[in-house]
Structure formats: C-alpha cells, structure tokens
Amino acid sequence: MTNNIDRVLRERKGIQLMTHVVAGYPSLDMNVELIRLMAKHGVRLVEIQIPFTDPLADGPTIMRANQAALDQGITPDHCFELGAALAKELPDMGFIFMTYANIPFAMGMDHFLNRAAASGASGIILPDLAWDEPGGDYADLAQERGLHPIMVISPDTEEARLEKILTRASGLLYTTLKVGITGAGATLDQGGLDYVRDLKKKAGLPIAAGFGISSPEHVAMLRGLADVAVMGSHILNLLDHQGLEAVQDFLAACG
Amino acid sequence: MSRISQMLPRHFGPYGGRYVPEMLVPALKELAQGYGQCKQDPQFQAQLTDLYHNYCGRPTPLYFADKLTKTLGGCKIYLKLEGLAHTGAHKINNALAQALLALRLGKTKIIAETGAGQHGLASATAAARCGLQCTVFMGEVDIRRQYPNVYAMKLLGAEVIPVTDGTKTLKDAVNATLKYWIQHLEDTHYILGSALGPFPFPVIVRDFQSIIGREVRTQILEREKRLPNHLVACVGGGSNAMGLFHPFLHESGIRFHGAEAGGRGPKIGDHAARFTNTPKVGIAQGYKSYFLQNDHGQLQDTHSVSAGLDYAGVGPELAWLYDQQLVEFSAITDVQALEAFTILTRLEGIIPALESAHAVARAMELAPTLPQDEIMVVNISGRGDKDIFITARELDRNNWMAFLKREVEDDQ
Ligand SMILES: Cc1ncc(COP(=O)(O)O)c(C=O)c1O
C-alpha cells in the first residue's frame, strides 16, 4: 500500500499545505468539521496533535489548545479514534500524529505506533524524542508499520547531525524557518528561506517548512523552495477569533 | 574535583539524557563544552572560590544543634546553615557560578525559572554582580506566595515574568524559560536552578552545589574526626540534596535521606511526593526521570506549602540513586513541615525556609530511632524570611491579617 504522504507529494504539483490541529480543541466534533473544510480546499496533509501537558516546542496558541483539550478529558484513545474516523471518510488525506515523547513512552512505543498505523495515519512527529537518546531511535519501528518518521530540524542543525538524521528520516523532512517555537509571526526570516533552498538541494527528500507561516504571501514565498508549507497557530488563531468562515477564506486565498 | 571523571555524565543509569527539540541541541552542546573548559580552568575556579568566600560568605557554618539533639534524644544533629549564604539559600552557589559561565560563553543576558523565588533572587543578584541582564519566569501561584523575593528581584533590576499556564508553579516556569531560551539562544544563557532538565544541566548544577558537601566533610572531620552516619536534605528538583550528598556517595556506611513534599496528603494533586506509591518513569522538560503523571503520561498537578518542593519531576541522578536504594525518600506533610519550622525556630533560634523545614521534620522522625553515638547532618538549605506570607498566615493569622489591612488602608 502506498503511503498517503508519498502519494500526495507525487500526485500534486506545487506547494502543498500541511495544517495542524490539536485533537479535542475546541472539540472533537469541531476537529472533524475543520478537517473536512481543509479537505474541501485541497489540503491533503494534516497533523493531528495528541495533547500533552508540557508541549516544549509549542508557543502560546497551541500550548493553550493542548491545555483546553486536556481539561475536557481528551486521551490518546480519543485522538486515535478521531484519526481513524477521518481516515475512513477522507481516504486520500495524509494524516500525521504529532505529540511529545512522554505519550508514546507511557503507552509503549510499539503499541503507540501500532495504534497510529491502525488509525490510518501516514506519519509520526515527535519533536522532543531525540534520536540519539535511548529509546529515541524509532524510525525503523515506524517504517516497519508503514509510517514515515518525520524528523524536525532547524537552520542551526549541524551538518554532522543532519547527515545522521537523513539516514533515519523518510517521507518528509520538516525544517523550522527559524530557531524558535511554534506561533504565528509577521514576517518570514530570509535566513530561513535560504536554508530551505540549500536543504532542498542536499536532502533528497521532500521538504516541509513551518513555524511562523501566517499569510498567503508567506506560502507564496516558499513556492519553489519547499514542497510543503506547515501552518498551525495561524489557523487556530483564526478559528478562535473569527470562526470557521475566516479559516475557509484563508485557505481559499492560499490555494 | 579530581574525583569526578573528565567526561561529563549525560546519563545516570537509564535517567537523564537530552530529550529536546533538535534546535536546542547546538546550545546545549556549547554549554557542555564551555562548562567542561571552566571546570579545568584554575582561573575560573579561583574567581569562583573568591566570590564564594568574600561575596557569598562561604564556608557556611556547620552548627551543632545541641538542644534539638537533646530534645529528640537520639543521634547528634548538625545543621549545615546554607541559609546564611548571601541571598539566603544554597541557590547562590549555582547561580553565581553559572553567571560566570555565561560571561565565559560570551552571553549578555541570563534567564532563570524560580519556584520559591530563591533561585530567581540568586540569579538576579548574580546578574547584577556580573553586569548581565536578567529575566526571571515565575508561576503566578508562586509570585503570590513568595512576594518578598519577587520584590527583591525587581529591586536588583531583574524583570519578573508571571507564568499563567498549566499549574502556574515551578514546572510551568521551567517550560516558559526553556521556550524563551529557544527563541533567544544567541545572547542568552539559561541558569537552570535545580539538578534537572536536559544534559548538561543536571551535572552542572550538582557540581556547583557540591561545595555544600565538600565543606561539610571538612567541617565534620574537624569537629568529630569522622564522617557523619546520616545526611538529610529536602528534595524539590534535587540541587541542595545532590550538593550535600554527592561528595559522600562513594563512602560506605552513610545513609542518605531525601524529604519530599507530602503536601495535604496522598491524593492526586495534593502533594509532590514522586517516590511514594508506584513511582512512574517519564520523559519531560528535556530529561528522563520519575514524574508524577497519569496513565496516559500527562504530568499531574502538585501541591506543597513550600513552593520550592512543589514540582512533578525530580533530578535524574536522584532517580538513579533511588533505584540503587542509596537515597531513601519519605514524604513530609505540610503540617509536619510547619511543626518542624516552629520547633527549630524556638529551640535553636534558626528560622528555616519551608523547604528546609521538610528536612528538619524528617530528621525529627529519624533521630529518636538512632543511637546517640551516630552523627546526622541536616541541610538547612535556606532561611525562612521569604515565607512570611505563608507562615504568618498559618501561625499568627489574626495579627497578620489585621496588619496587612492596616497597611493597605493607611496607604489610601
Ligand atoms: C531554600 C530552598 N530549599 C530547597 C529548594 C528545593 O530545590 P532543590 O531540590 O533543587 O534544592 C528550594 C527551591 O526553590 C529552596 O528555595
């Protein structure tokens, strides 16, 4: 079976949007509605974040969404069920589970990956599970189950480490555009864009770029450089302050 | 220093490590390298020693608590008075040393998390002394209960940023500081205040705090011509405990006792006793250790009357020492800590920090069961001035409330 991430990136020309939703925020029902809307506007890659109490790489918008979801009693089970329902309804979509190390650690990595694969996911992102720590090198385990281990790097990642990361990464290599945390920003850093250009040449993998993308212009700036533009906080902010319609307008403008 | 091997340990058994987003790796590597160099550099060490003596007031006294010993009727009790160090707690040992390290690394700004405010105060002080800009992150709950330290930090020129996320206490202050650091790596050093977090912080903090145990060794040999049988310390993240214990860990025949926050009792959210019930290993805040967490791996709410012990995790080296049954942990409730606070104050004329009062309470449980020819050293990690808003409310409520009211009214 072809992995949906591979299929999306092969079939589609031009830059793809990858959106980020926090499972259970503002509610599981709203997640479904939001992702349907995204699908309608051509989004084919969606990160579903399994909420965690201490999300180290997330800025205020996503962190608060994590907290609100947990306050409503969202568990990893709910997230896998959400993923499974969506994968059934939207079979062309590439779903990626994103969370922090302690969630798979508490569940057992094998079990976590089994659940993710059984839910129809195509990839996994675990930003604080360092590949050079005991129990952190999960790439093979993921690939055995048809899941791409999507590694997150930054413009500051040393060459030697990048090489080791590239031996593990598959499907998509995710680079942040700045050294920082998630959050909508006003401008994209030129250094970040240059980094993406260089990375694309040497990585031999499709490149996703994210952190700070918050306008159709930002997406346009990444055209020809990155294969995927990742958008999380900005869409959450739109949803929080202006509702689904604003998200719809925004996605249409990016398209 | 010679006892510690050249390679900085990144793991303690299965614990510790560097579980961070890739973008923090370069800064942590730079820090490990910089620290490794400072450790070998006699000039750095001489500068630090000079400041310890002439600025911090080290060595701090090792005081024989005659009346406490007689009252409890067991082993001889000595108190290591870290509360007499500049800024009132052991935290200055680490903060000042890391501020010097920050200068070596070419940083112009330092940031720190704080719970009780003692580490924030020590960092603000070290920053003022070293000409560094200082920002301190502190949970909203802790800002309220440790206001004297908040005021002092501001007086020293530090900016204090309230943390309003999660539990609004130490754990969330650590998260906020780590996130700020990720965004300001270029010019900023993070002075982590306890022996926790990603490598190399646990080893840096432990090494700088080990001055406590090294002094105790010299002092007790002078007084008693032999080593102690028992060492007692309170354990939040574990910096004062590791500082006292570490220089003695290779000795046989010493028992190490850690006092955790038993809070209001064993219910979830009522305590910060990580080693009671069935301790659970997890990965959070950049390291692997024991964390109070639910079955899904979500960190749990904690409570303690003392802000410094009110933390869901524990330093990785202590986790490993627990597994090896080298350090024995017990939970001390809020009530026990306040009782010990009062007793030490009245018997010895020493007002301990509420954190340290947990160690005193543990000593009071142990001492009567131990033979009179044994020696115990209890770390009084800080003094109790900062806790006035808690202790006065608990122990002298009516007068205290009337005083506060009068102060506010007079001002209007
Ligand atoms: C006086 C005092 N003792 C102990 C602690 C607990 O920290 P640690 O376990 O790192 O010594 C604190 C922390 O704020 C403190 O202020």
Helix (H, G, I), strand (E, B) or coil at A216: helix
**How high is the pLDDT of residue B3?**
42
Q: Do the chains contact at B182 and A134, CB–CB below 8 Å?
A: no
pLDDT at B4 over 50: no
Report CA-CA distances (Å) from B206 to B241, B249, B368. 9, 13, 31
Among A70, A156, A176, whose Cβ lies nearest the Cβ of B298?
A: A70
B27-59 pLDDT tens trace: 999 999 999 999 999 999 999 999 999 999 999
ipTM surpassing 0.90, yes or no?
A: yes
The structural domains of chain A, with segments of one domain joined by +, span: 4-254
Who contacts B2 (Cβ-Cβ below 8 Å, separation ≥6)?
A: none
Report how far residue B246's alpha carbon sits from residue B326's, in angstroms, rounded to the nearest whole number.
Answer: 11
Please return the burial class of B56, using the count of CB atoms within 10 Å of its CB with bins 0-12, 13-18 and 19+. buried
Q: Do the chains contact at B22 and A106, CB–CB below 8 Å?
A: no
Distance from CA of A54 to the nearest CA of B (A): 7
* Mean predicted confidence (pLDDT) in B304-318: 97
Task: Identify the residue whose tokens are 């700004």.
Answer: B109
> Choosing among A103, A157, A179, A233, which should be mutated to test the B contact, i.e. which has the most B CBs within 10 A?
A179
Report CA-CA distances (Å) from B16 to B9, B199, B202, B259. 9, 7, 8, 21
Ligand 1 centroid to residue B26 C-alpha, Å: 29
Among B175, B179, B297, whose Cβ lies nearest the Cβ of A102?
A: B297
**A144 tagged catalytic:** no
Report CA-CA distances (Å) from A58 to B88, B178, B182, B301, B377. 35, 11, 11, 20, 43
Q: Does domain A4-254 have CATH number 3.30.1240.10?
A: no
Ligand 1 centroid to residue B107 C-alpha, Å: 26
CATH topology of domain B19-54+91-205: Rossmann fold (3.40.50)
Among A56, A101, A153, whose Cβ lies nearest the Cβ of B178?
A: A56
- Provide the pairing of β-strand A123-125 with B188-190: unpaired
Q: Crossing angle of helices A244-254/A28-40, nearest 10°?
A: 30
Ligand 1, residues at Cβ distance < 6 Å: B 89, 91, 115-116, 118-119, 194, 234-241, 308-309, 353, 355-356, 381-382
> Choosing among A102, A105, A164, A182, which should be mutated to test the B contact, i.e. which has the most B CBs within 10 A?
A102
Helix (H, G, I), strand (E, B) or coil at A14: coil
Report how far residue B83's alpha carbon sits from residue B61's, in angstroms, rounded to the nearest whole number.
Answer: 10
Q: Where in chain B is the domain with CATH 3.40.50.1100?
A: 19-54+91-205, 62-88+210-394
Report CA-CA distances (Å) from A95 to A35, A62, A99, B143, B357. 10, 18, 13, 42, 52
Contact between B90 and B216 (Cβ < 8 Å): no
Chain A residue with the nearest C-alpha to that of B178: A56
Task: Find residue B189's DSSP bridge partners.
Answer: B110
Q: In this structure, what token pair is assigned to residue A218?
A: 């930002």
Among A52, A67, A134, whose Cβ lies nearest the Cβ of B165?
A: A67
Q: Do the chains contact at A154 and B183, CB–CB below 8 Å?
A: no
pLDDT at B196 over 60: yes
Q: Do the chains contact at B19 and A133, CB–CB below 8 Å?
A: yes
What phi-psi label fits residue B216: left (phi over 0), alpha (psi between -120 and 50 degrees) or beta?
alpha
Helix (H, G, I), strand (E, B) or coil at B152: helix
Q: Do the chains contact at A133 and B17, CB–CB below 8 Å?
A: yes
* Mean predicted confidence (pLDDT) in B111-121: 97
Q: Give residue ranges of A with CB < 8 Å to any B CB.
A: 52-54, 56-57, 59-60, 63-64, 67, 70, 75-76, 100-103, 105-107, 127-130, 132-134, 136, 151-154, 156-158, 161, 165, 176, 179-181
Which residues in B271-309 are b (16+ Cβ under 10 Å) and which e? bbbbbeeebebbbbbbbbbbbbbeebbbbbbbbbbbbbb
Report how far residue A228's alpha carbon sits from residue A230's, in angstroms, rounded to the nearest whole number.
Answer: 6
A132-151 pLDDT tens trace: 999 999 999 999 999 999 99
A49-97 pLDDT tens trace: 999 999 999 999 999 999 999 999 999 999 999 999 999 999 999 999 9
Instruction: Give the single-character DSSP code of B89.
Output: B
Q: In this structure, what token pair is assigned to residue B104?
A: 């070596």
**How high is the pLDDT of residue A9?**
96
Report how far residue A114's alpha carbon sits from residue B106's, in angstroms, rounded to the nearest whole number.
Answer: 47
Residue % of chain B over a pLDDT of 90: 97
What phi-psi label fits residue B106: left (phi over 0), alpha (psi between -120 and 50 degrees) or beta?
left
Phi, psi angles (nearest 5°) of residue A115: -65, -45
Which residues in B175-186 are b (16+ Cβ under 10 Å) and which e? bbbbbbbbebbe
Query: For residue B171, which residues of chain A lie inside 8 Å, CB to CB?
Result: 54
Residue % of chain A over a pLDDT of 70: 100
Question: Residue B231: which H helix or E strand, with range?
Answer: strand B230-234
Confidence of residue A31 (pLDDT cuts 50, 70, 90): very high
Distance from CA of A119 to the nearest CA of B (A): 18
Query: For residue B183, which residues of chain A lie inside 8 Å, CB to CB?
Result: 179-181
Distance from CA of B277 to the nearest CA of A (A): 17
Residue of B249, B366, B261 whose CA lies nearest to B318: B249
Among A59, A60, A128, whose Cβ lies nearest the Cβ of B19?
A: A128
Determine contact: B66 vs chain A, CB below 8 A: no
Is the whole-model pTM more than 0.95? yes
Please return the burial class of B53, using the count of CB atoms within 10 Å of its CB with bins 0-12, 13-18 and 19+. exposed
Ligand 1 centroid to residue B57 C-alpha, Å: 19
Residue of A135, A68, A147 whose CA lies nearest to A105: A135
Residue of A64, A83, A125 whose CA lies nearest to A100: A125
Confidence of residue B6 (pLDDT cuts 50, 70, 90): low
Task: Find residue A98's DSSP bridge partners.
Answer: A49, A125
Q: Do the chains contact at A56 and B179, CB–CB below 8 Å?
A: yes
A116-135 pLDDT tens trace: 999 999 999 999 999 999 99
Ligand 1 centroid to residue A148 C-alpha, Å: 43
Residue nearest to atom 1 of ligand 1 (CA): B382
The single-letter code of the amino acid at B295 is D
B151-174 pLDDT tens trace: 999 999 999 999 999 999 999 999
Residue of A234, A203, A239, A201 whose CA lies nearest to A217: A234
Contact between B352 and B383 (Cβ < 8 Å): yes
Helix (H, G, I), strand (E, B) or coil at B191: coil
Range B62-88+210-394: architecture per CATH: 3-Layer(aba) Sandwich (3.40)
> Choosing among A67, A133, A137, which should be mutated to test the B contact, i.e. which has the most B CBs within 10 A?
A133
Instruction: Give the single-character DSSP code of B383.
Output: B
Which residues of B are identified as catalytic?
91, 113, 381
- The active-site residue out of A58, A110, A156, A194 is A58
DSSP class per residue in A17-63: EEEEEETTSS-HHHHHHHHHHHHHTT--EEEEEPP-S--TT--HHHH
E strand spans, B50-108: 62-64, 76-81
Nearest ligand 1 atom, CA B118: 16
**How high is the pLDDT of residue A13?**
83
> Beta-carbon neighbour count of residue B318 at 10 Å?
30
* Mean predicted confidence (pLDDT) in B384-411: 95
Ligand 1 centroid to residue B267 C-alpha, Å: 23
Report how far residue B276's alpha carbon sits from residue B295's, in angstroms, rounded to the nearest whole number.
Answer: 16
Query: For residue A157, which residues of chain B lie inside 8 Å, CB to CB?
Result: 22-23, 25-26
Residue of B43, B37, B26, B7 whose CA lies nearest to B203: B7
**A58 tagged catalytic:** yes
Q: In this structure, what token pair is assigned to residue A129?
A: 């599970």
Helix (H, G, I), strand (E, B) or coil at B59: coil
Report how far residue B341's alpha carbon sits from residue B93's, in angstroms, rounded to the nearest whole number.
Answer: 24
Residue nearest to atom 7 of ligand 1 (CA): B236
Q: Do the chains contact at A156 and B26, CB–CB below 8 Å?
A: yes
Phi, psi angles (nearest 5°) of residue B134: -130, 130
> Choosing among B298, B299, B301, which should be mutated to test the A contact, i.e. which has the most A CBs within 10 A?
B298
User: What distance, in Å, lies between the first and last C-alpha atoms of chain A?
Assistant: 28
pLDDT at B141 over 90: yes
**Higher per-residue pLDDT: A184 or A167:** A167
Contact between B396 and B342 (Cβ < 8 Å): no
Determine contact: B161 vs chain A, CB below 8 A: no
Please return the burial class of B14, using the count of CB atoms within 10 Å of its CB with bins 0-12, 13-18 and 19+. middle
Confidence of residue B1 (pLDDT cuts 50, 70, 90): very low
Please return the burial class of B339, using the count of CB atoms within 10 Å of its CB with bins 0-12, 13-18 and 19+. middle
Which residues in B113-148 are b (16+ Cβ under 10 Å) and which e? bbbbbbbbbbbbbbbebeebebbbbbbebbbebbee
